[in-house]
Amino acid sequence: MKKFIVCVMVLPLFTSCNFMQKVEGKAKKINNYEKVALNLSKENRELRTRISSLEFDVQQFKSKISYLKLKVEKKSASRKIASIAPKQSFGQDMVQFTTYKWTPSQLKSVADESFAKKDYKKSAQYFYSLVKQYPGHKYIKDDVLFKAGVSAYETHEYYDQAVEMLSRIVADYPTSRHYRGAKLWLSLAELKKGNKDFFFKTVEEFRKKYRNTAEWKIISRHYYEIVQKYKKM
């Protein structure tokens, strides 16, 4: 009888302990679920923030692409206009502008380098293309026109181009440091084209007005030889 009472008394304790363990286990599981839920919620917020950031970046890229497309279209339109080859008397076209679509800086760079190396045919063609393809560019000033004219003359072929380039300096840049040089080279180019009157008129002007200049010293060395040669013709 005593054993039965003890068992009866112990059984509730055992059952109660087992129950508490189950409760604690469930509590732990619930806590774990809550932690997982909190972590998932945090990750979800972070993902939403990242998605918003990426959407903003995508929008920026779209705007940038639209801007670049517009810029390319404008450049293509300007190049189509510029790609019309200028009328010129060059035999071999070294520039081939229609094919290579040179920029102003590229044309000038090649022209200057060729001029320095005294490769006058190449420099004449590149300078001429620069002037004709980009007539309103900032490079098109007296310095470029002078080099274009001199290099054209020195080819002993492109006298028309020499006259065209040098005449612009005489007409448009009266205060240029190249003004007298342009007049001198222009007269020589006109002489090569058969315009003797223009040449002798210019030489006489130099003899009277510019006797103390470097240009007169150059032409005076050959003055009488030239005079004798062309007056007999």
* Residue 92 maps to a domain: no
3-state SS, residue 66: helix
Q: Residue 118's Cα: distance from chain center in Å?
A: 27
Q: What is the pLDDT of residues 140-186, one digit of tens each?
A: 999 999 999 999 999 999 999 999 999 999 999 999 999 999 999 99
Q: Would you place residue 190 in the very low, low, confident or very high pLDDT band (cuts 50, 70, 90)?
A: very high
Q: Would you place residue 74 in the very low, low, confident or very high pLDDT band (cuts 50, 70, 90)?
A: very low
In this prediction the pTM is 0.60
Same domain, 34 and 123: no
Same domain, 132 and 201: yes
The CATH number given to whatever domain includes residue 227 is: 1.25.40.10
- Host domain of residue 152: 97-231
Q: What is the pLDDT of residues 111-121, one digit of tens each?
A: 999 999 999 99
Same domain, 74 and 109: no
- Contacts of residue 191, defined as CB under 8 A and 6 or more positions apart, other chains included, come to 198, 199, 226, 230
Contact of 155 with 124, CB cutoff 8 Å: yes
> According to DSSP H, which parts of the chain are helical?
2-82, 97-100, 104-116, 120-133, 142-154, 159-172, 179-192, 196-209, 214-220, 223-231
Mean pLDDT confidence for 65-83: 48
> How many domains is the chain partitioned into structurally?
2
* Residue 90 maps to a domain: no
Q: Which two tokens stand for residue 7?
A: 């068992």
The full length of the chain comes to: 233
